[in-house]
Chains A and B, each alone.
Chain A
Amino acid sequence: MKKIFSLFLNLIGLGIFSLLAQENTENNSGQITGNFQTDAQYYIEDQSIGAIAVKEYTLVNSWANFIYSNQNFSAGFRYEGYMNTLLGYPNSGGINDGIGIPFRWAMFSKDNIEITVGNFYEQFGNGLVLRSYEEKMLGIDNALDGFRIKYQLYKGINLTGLIAKQRYYWNHGPGIIRGFDGAIQINEVFQSLEESSLRLNIGGSFVSKFQHEDHPLYNLPDNVAAMAGRIMIKYKNFDINSEYAYKINDPSLDNSYIFKPGQALLINTSYAKKGLGIVLATKWVDNMAFRNDRNASLTDLNINQLPEITKNHIYVLPAFYPYATQPNGEWGAKAEIMYKIPKNTLLGGKYGTNISLNYSRAHDIKRTQINDSTPVFPPASGTYGYNTKFFSIGNKLYFQDINVEISKKWSKKVLSNFSYVYLIYNYDVLRGITGHGNVYAHIGIADMTYKFENSTALKTEFQHMYTKQDEGSWVLGMIEYSLPGWFFTVFDNWNYGNLDSKKHYYSIGFGHVSGGTRIQLSYGKQRAGVMCIGGVCRNVPASNGISVSISSTF
């Protein structure tokens, strides 16, 4: 019976195949697209770096998306499997292990309305009160599961309403999220302003979370409301983008169950013209952690996301000490200048030279006692917690980053990128421990590419970090040789400044790329540390072993 069924399916497949192979592929049967990724690692114990082996020998994370679409209708699902979850991904007590379809949805859109049923991702404004998203490489997926309606009321006026539960590994978090967002693009609404050099967008959001009050001691709110207002003004080359958010009292594990309301402010300004970009940004956050479950922690069940404004370093050594937003309270500022020295000048050379300067700093906020008997820290559960003035800046430094990057193309064959980074990293606050103190690190990077004939190239990377704190200084060398469709890499990261043991973390690997498919195989050692993508981080343990990664889009 099964054989007949599979033969039948094959015939259907062939039928569709031949149908589509005809000259005119127009049809009403819709289309199916998707992608697939699998990441596997075979673990080898290595006591010298603290790497462990696992009972399974090999751990594998995989998933595949399928999307069917036909005119105004689309539907899809994601099949995921963690057998078992790779080390370093959120998986407390094996909660992430298993297989299933945690993500499935259907969407219909017509005229001015779009309706989604099932799982979806959503962001209101900058995400200060609501951001549901996924970052597979970090094991983050706080997808919503429910109903969403998007409606265009009038040209330039867009409304979004949603009610949903939220994904918690293979289950849902306990809370219900209700959200509404309205966005008005003034220049669209009034036709006379369409070509105006002054552009104005405004928006507002309201999010409410319901979770049964269950605390034995305190009378906690069942419903927690958060709201935000935003504005974007653009005039010629200038741009201001700002959002303010407020959340009613929301005692939680994050804030030690205090009854203080939360606030956040984000201001981004910029100036841009051809060859020059300047960005100034600041933010202030007080008690703005917002989760589906008041008792959740780590990367679980976040309803909002408070974006960092510090530079997102991609080179290995500066990424050792990444900043992460402190939702309980922080002030931050950033200044960035990006400039292209024009072509055919002394410093610009034949192709122009790109220079970027970036400075950012983050501090604590200033907190005062609510009365003589209540300490500010640790916050006293069941009280208001502490007082703070809006936009107050505390003395404690959380983070500072000064960096300069120069990228230059010397000829058709030689490209280079040089960087210098100076970081001050408050290890205690950012890693949630005490007694470690600040890390001060100077990092220099030289990244060179030599292109040969026939699209082959040699890329070399040299990085050095000087620091007296933490594990001491490091030096890193990397060579990558590529030819069409193939790449080979050799890499060593040497912790020569570590007085206890001067460890090498080396790896070798190669990969093949063909169209939408990429296969990579590597062997090597990975340092324990923090891995970040797009501003969100996870701790990764030291590991030693063979890794295979395959991804494909179809």
Chain B
Amino acid sequence: MNKIILSLSLAILALSVFAQDVPSVQLKDLNGKTVNTKSIINNNGKPVLISFFATWCKPCIKELNAFNENYDEWKEETGVKIIAISTDNSRSSNSVGPFVKSKGWEFDVYLDENGDFKRAMNVGEVPHTFLLDGKGKIVWQHKTYLDGDENKTFDAIKKVAKGQPIK
């Protein structure tokens, strides 16, 4: 029985190790407009970085601050688009807009109030960041944020922008 489970797991792994698509889920933008994940990940063949966060999550804020500080440079070099997904529930989701504005973040932020996108992307805890190649395939991901992790993220973005394999 154990062998069967192991084999099944291997089969599943084999199916999943390669580039995955972003699932289609409805989110809200900060104007209260419903948008589909498929439409926001379009970046004209350039990489897209999706970062799940919450306003109460300190490492998330640190990571997004670091992204924001480097955003101009990263955009210029690789054309990357950053998208931040707030997983705040209705306790703090109404504060996400003012919070983001006060931080001066330049990237687009969307609300995932009941965690539908979070679950569809198999995100357990935040922060969790995914990198999409120009075709919209997930090619890299990173959990948690340790100071300096943004360097690793940028290395991955650069490779993807050049069409090189990561690792």
Contacts and interface: CB of A to CB of B under 8 A. Distances in A.
A190 interface: no
Contact of A535 (B91, B115, B123): B91
Interface bracket on A? 35 or more
B116 A459 contact: no
Interface string B5-20: 0111011111111111
Contacts of A415: 62, 147
B141 A515 contact: yes
A232 B34 CA distance: 13
Given A16-B11, A554-B13, A513 B143 contact: yes
Given A241-B94, A314-B57, A340-B103, A551 B19 contact: no
Interface in B1-53: 1, 3-4, 6-8, 10-21, 23-24, 31-34
B125 interface: yes
Contacts of A438: none
B121 to A, nearest CB: 8
Contacts of B4: 2, 5-6, 9
Given A2-B4, A270-B94, A277-B99, A459 B32 contact: no
Contacts of A232: 32
A345 interface: no
Interface string B110-147: 00011110011111110010000000000011111011
Interface stretch (A126-134, A463-471, A521-529): A126-134
A338 interface: yes
A84 interface: no
Interface in B60-101: 62, 65, 69, 88-92, 94-95, 97-101
Contact of B143 (A14, A276, A535, A551): A551
Contact of A305 (B8, B90, B125): B90
Interface string A341-382: 000000000011010100000000000000000000000000
A553 B147 contact: no
Interface in A23-53: 25, 29, 31-35, 37
B89 A535 contact: yes
B12 A66 contact: yes
A336 B19 contact: no
A74 B119 CA distance: 13
A277 B141 CA distance: 31
Contact of B20 (A14, A31, A185, A451): A31
Nearest to A200: B32
Contacts of A122: 114
**Prevailing SS type, chain A contact patch:** strand
Contacts of B98: 270-272, 276-279, 336, 338
Nearest to A480: B146
Nearest to A70: B21
Contacts of A307: 89-91
A37 B101 CA distance: 34
Given A16-B14, A553-B143, A6 B6 contact: yes
A25 B57 CA distance: 36
Given A9-B4, A457-B146, A553-B143, A270 B122 contact: no
Given A9-B10, A415-B62, A551-B124, A199 B32 contact: yes
B24 A109 contact: yes
B7 to A, nearest CB: 4
A417 B65 CA distance: 13
B10 to A, nearest CB: 4
B124 A553 contact: yes
B104 A553 contact: no
A48 to B, nearest CB: 31
A457 B89 contact: no
A389 interface: no
Given A241-B94, A277-B102, A34 B148 contact: no
B101 A276 contact: yes
Contacts of A554: 13, 16-17, 122
Nearest to A267: B94
Contact of A185 (B16, B32, B144): B32
A415 B90 CA distance: 30
Nearest to B15: A32
A308 interface: yes
Contacts of B125: 551
A268 interface: yes
Interface in A439-488: 447, 449, 451, 454-457, 459, 482-485, 487
> Top 6 nearest A-B pairs by Cβ distance?
A277-B98, A455-B148, A457-B147, A9-B7, A338-B102, A277-B102
Interface of A: 2-3, 5-7, 9-10, 12-14, 16-17, 20-21, 25, 29, 31-35, 37, 65-67, 69, 74, 109, 121-123, 126-127, 131, 133-134, 136, 158, 185, 187-188, 199, 201, 232, 234, 239, 241, 268, 270-279, 281, 305, 307-309, 312, 314, 336, 338-340, 351-352, 354, 356, 409, 415, 417, 447, 449, 451, 454-457, 459, 482-485, 487, 513, 515-518, 534-535, 551, 553-554
15 contacts: A2-B3, A9-B4, A9-B8, A13-B10, A20-B18, A67-B23, A127-B90, A185-B32, A201-B32, A241-B94, A272-B97, A272-B102, A484-B152, A513-B143, A534-B88
Given A338-B99, A351-B69, 6 more contacts: A9-B8, A65-B122, A201-B32, A277-B100, A314-B58, A456-B148
